[in-house]
Structure 1
Amino acid sequence: MGIDPNFDRNREQVGEENGVAVWGPVDPPEKLGIHGSHVAVDYDICVADGACLEDCPVDVFTWVETPDHPASERKVEPTREDQCIDCMLCVDICPVDAIDVDASRS
């Protein structure tokens, strides 16, 4: 099951990391929530294959360390989500559907 496309209505924003909104629940290291708003990455299902980071034409993503998370010990953070051009390549290429892009959440 992929990221909840309605997370901004179904979850509460519990804080920010590196200037990026974090949506709960969060209980590290197992539950890390969803990071981002316009470009959102579900850290709980991200497996960090890096395709989105490598293929994004405007370099929205950066690596962040997530020690001891069961899926992977690093994740892609939508650090520059304000630069997103809504091409949806990251959504299409993610092998576990951990990314959602929605212009209405800009």
Structure 2
Amino acid sequence: MQINIYKDKMLGARLFGASVLYSAAPIPREDVPQGWYCYDLRGTARHPDEPHALVDLAEENHAGSILSCLPLKKGGSQFRLIKDMFQMTGTNPSLAEFCAEEKIRCPETPVR
């Protein structure tokens, strides 16, 4: 099951010091607004549901997806270890609410 980032609420989080949106369900890459970044959190074989690394696309051990208006890893790197840099904020915003809170321009819902 995938999430609709324009209609569904996600969970607020902080990753590497940046405010991000988190979804336990995969975020369809074709829905990611231009200028935004989408990553997957990958778990380990022993703890597949615990975020261990940030990757472009988790083919196994998917532990969630991240939507960010900032880049969170270098484009050429395959992954970035999370360590203790991922915290949930306890909020449950929509994309529009997140943008208003962060004082950034909200992307328009694409017409399909």
TM-score, scaled to structure 2:
0.27
More helix by share: 1
Structure whose alpha-carbon radius of gyration is higher:
2
Which structure's relative contact order is higher, taking Cα pairs within 8 Å and 6+ residues apart? 2
TM-score when normalising by structure 1: 0.28
Higher strand proportion: 2
